[in-house]
């Protein structure tokens, strides 16, 4: 097994699809795997209503996904730099198909949490490989679009997933079954497509060593990377607020029980992120990071105000402003870092970016869930907003005073 993984390729495989078709298909697969990740957001309150578990279990189900994804990224994130993109993409999409089937037939919240763990492993394994493959498969005239897809697809996928599941939760009598059945079919199709996608990375020795859990950040971007960390943390904490906390807050603080409201808020926040990422390509990365983190500071203040005033309009404003900040900041981060590394270092770079983000996401969700039972939902949300505002302010200062 070790010899097989570490053996360098001596002959190139003949592409089964054109690079253009591979770019389109793998971009769609990257969106699909994030659609599946966003789908539980409006479904968790439905599960709570059906099975009657405590509110903190909602944030546990959200947070444990982030931690399993984090471990997966840390262990497997750089593997595609050694064995190639295609084998890892096929395996990750196949494992996510298993997660969809677990969700589909889940009889209890324990099974849902187990499915979230499997889903996290699959998404983590796919994140760096898919991101690197999209950049590498993009035809020359679409290279800028390839880089944009690495920041747009995750945000757009999560937004679509939340909206898709929320609409079915509102209008379908068996929403969970319908959601997971559709996504199981999509994931099966994505796995099959990955089988015929051309390889973009040359195999090289060191595959087994790459499984040792450690971050291997390219030396030339270390200084720039560390200045972007507070912005990455702030962005993922903002996502956690609208995907992991708001569904519970709508019930406990705003007395809103319709699942589609929570899914629409998540869709608006992540949709604004996608738009901000898509339409800011002409701006320099440092300016994008500054504007994006500044918007997240304002979004955090609006979030605090919405809880204090029990104002849904302020919560919607927070979703729009904070969401746009996520997209601009993440776009500025990836567009500033990716061009500075060699192709064989891209997966390791994306691993470092996603590691920090998902560590923040999982920790924030679980800590917030524990505090709900101690201080109540409203006080927890205000405290969460204050911490988010402080972190994003630190990110704004770090970006402002860096020379990147």
| pLDDT in 10s for each residue of the chain, 404 residues | 444 444 444 334 455 777 777 777 888 888 899 999 999 988 888 888 888 887 778 788 888 898 898 888 888 877 777 778 888 889 999 999 999 999 999 999 999 999 999 999 999 888 778 877 777 777 666 666 666 666 677 778 888 998 999 999 888 888 899 999 999 999 999 998 888 888 877 777 777 776 777 677 888 888 888 899 999 999 999 999 998 889 888 888 998 888 889 889 999 998 898 888 878 878 888 899 999 999 999 999 999 999 999 999 999 999 999 999 999 998 888 888 878 888 777 767 877 888 888 889 989 988 998 888 788 889 999 999 999 999 999 999 988 776 54
DSSP symbols for 290-320 = HHHHHHHHHHHHHHHHHHHTT-HHHHHHHHH
> What pLDDT score does 394 carry?
94
With contact defined as beta carbons under 8 Å apart, do 319 and 272 qualify? yes
> What pLDDT score does 171 carry?
87
CB atoms within 10 A of CB 177: 15
Residue 159 within any structural domain of the chain: yes
> What pLDDT score does 143 carry?
61
DSSP symbols for 252-304 = HTT----HHHHHHHHHHHHHHHHHHHHT-TTS-HHHHHHHHHHHHHHHHHHHH
Residue 10 within any structural domain of the chain: no
| Cα gap 192→241, rounded to integer Å | 35
Q: Give pTM, 2 decimals.
A: 0.80
SS3 of the chain: helix, strand, coil, percent, to 5: 85, 0, 15
Q: What is the CA radius of gyration of the chain?
A: 20
> What pLDDT score does 398 carry?
87
Q: Which domain holds residue 238?
A: 15-211+219-401
With contact defined as beta carbons under 8 Å apart, do 234 and 395 qualify? yes
Domain count, the chain: 1
| Cα gap 258→299, rounded to integer Å | 24
Residue 37 within any structural domain of the chain: yes
Residue 128: φ, ψ to 5°:
-70, -40
> What pLDDT score does 27 carry?
82
Q: Which of 44, 326, 70, 291 is nearest to 169 (CA)?
A: 44
Residue 4 within any structural domain of the chain: no
Residue 393's alpha-carbon distances to 53, 234, 293, 370, 386, in angstroms, are 36, 9, 8, 25, 11
**Maximum CA pair distance of the chain?**
65
Q: Which of 266, 31, 46, 32 is nearest to 171 (CA)?
A: 46
> What pLDDT score does 61 carry?
83
Report the b/e string of 304-315 with b at 16+ CB within 10 A: bbbbeeeeeebb
| Cα gap 313→319, rounded to integer Å | 10
Q: Domain holding 227: CATH number?
A: 1.20.1250.20
């Amino acid at each position: 097994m070790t010899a097989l993984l570490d053996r360098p390729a001596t002959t190139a495989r003949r592409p089964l699809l054109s690079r253009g078709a591979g770019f389109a298909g793998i971009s769609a697969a990257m969106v699909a795997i994030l659609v599946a990740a966003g789908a539980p957001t409006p479904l968790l309150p439905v599960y709570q209503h059906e099975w009657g578990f405590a509110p903190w279990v909602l944030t546990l189900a959200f947070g444990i996904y982030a931690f399993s994804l984090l471990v997966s990224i840390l262990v497997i994130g750089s593997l595609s730099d050694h064995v190639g993109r295609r084998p890892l993409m096929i395996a990750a999409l196949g494992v996510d198909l298993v997660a969809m089937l677990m969700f589909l037939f889940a009889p209890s919240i324990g099974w849902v949490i187990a499915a979230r763990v499997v889903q996290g492993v699959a998404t983590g394994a796919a994140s760096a490989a898919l991101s690197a493959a999209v950049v590498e498969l993009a035809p020359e005239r679409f290279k800028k679009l390839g880089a944009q897809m690495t920041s747009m697809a995750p945000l757009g996928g999560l937004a679509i997933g939340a909206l898709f599941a929320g609409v079915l939760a509102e209008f379908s009598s068996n929403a969970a079954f319908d959601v997971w059945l559709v996504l199981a079919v999509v994931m099966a199709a994505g796995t099959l497509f990955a089988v015929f996608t051309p390889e973009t990375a040359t195999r090289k020795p060191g595959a087994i060593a790459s499984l040792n859990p450690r971050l291997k950040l390219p030396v030339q971007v270390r200084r720039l990377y560390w200045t972007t960390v507070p912005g990455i943390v702030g962005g993922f904490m903002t996502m956690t607020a609208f995907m992991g906390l708001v569904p519970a807050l709508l019930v406990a603080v705003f007395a809103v029980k319709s699942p589609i409201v929570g899914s629409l808020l998540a869709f608006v926040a992540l949709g604004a992120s996608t738009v901000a990422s898509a339409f800011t390509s002409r701006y320099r990365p440092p300016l994008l990071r500054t504007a994006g983190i500044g918007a997240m500071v304002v979004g955090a203040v609006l979030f605090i105000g919405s809880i204090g005033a029990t104002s849904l309009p302020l919560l919607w404003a927070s979703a729009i402003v904070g969401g746009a900040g996520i997209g601009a900041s993440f776009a500025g981060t990836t567009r500033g870092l990716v061009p500075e590394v060699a192709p064989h270092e891209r997966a390791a770079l994306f691993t470092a970016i996603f590691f920090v983000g998902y560590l923040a996401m999982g920790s924030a969700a679980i800590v917030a869930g524990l505090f709900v039972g101690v201080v109540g939902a409203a006080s927890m949300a205000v405290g969460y907003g204050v911490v988010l505002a402080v972190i994003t302010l630190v990110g704004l200062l770090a970006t402002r005073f860096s020379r990147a």
